[in-house]
Amino acid sequence: MSDQWKPTFSQKDFSLDKQETLYNGFFKMYKLHLSHKTFSGEKISIQRELFYRDDAVCVLLYDAENDAVVLVEQFRVGAYDSPEGPWLLELIAGIVEPGETPEDVARRESQEEAGTDIGEIVPIIRFVPSSGGTREYIDLLCAQVNSEGVEGIHGLADEGEDIQVHTLAADDAFALVKAGKINNAPAIIALQWLQINREELKQRWKQ
């Protein structure tokens, strides 16, 4: 069964032999020289370029009373060459600052990006979005919200943010995932999780 799987190796089965800094800005880029055990019982040495990003939090705001979700639309440089354009419909998100918990980030960013407070927060999963060459961990959460009056343009001007808030019926958001219109990993994962857990959240959060 899948829940009985565990990794063949652990932290003790590889070594970081050398690290070179290729770029050190808002993000970082390293060249890593590593050695690790192989499945055939040998040991190999490899070099990998690593894009290093700090831990982040993405939060899906769900209004159980109105069966609606709050999402945000903004320009994303990582999709600059998309045929549909680089404006994506996403979850509220932010980078974890020193001393913050994922829940702290979710509450801070919900105010900054959507102008709203949130209620109870339910963890979905902590995952690695692009393990082939990027070091980043995302805590994916779902939070209770009253979506009435949640609208407008938000974001921090000094960070170059220009964010449009959208409140959608949950079923409409699911349809956008199915149609490939919502095409970023955190939003896809969170909305599919909501499809599975929606009834439980309604029982938990409806007044």
Give the other-Cβ count within 10 Å of 160's Cβ: 8
d(CA 161, CA 173): 23
Active-site choice (42, 90, 159, 161): 159
With contact defined as beta carbons under 8 Å apart, do 62 and 194 qualify?
A: yes
- Catalytic, 159? Answer yes
Residue 128 φ/ψ, nearest 5 degrees: -105, 115
Give the other-Cβ count within 10 Å of 56's Cβ: 19
Quick one: DSSP state of residue 51? E
Residues marked active site are found at 159
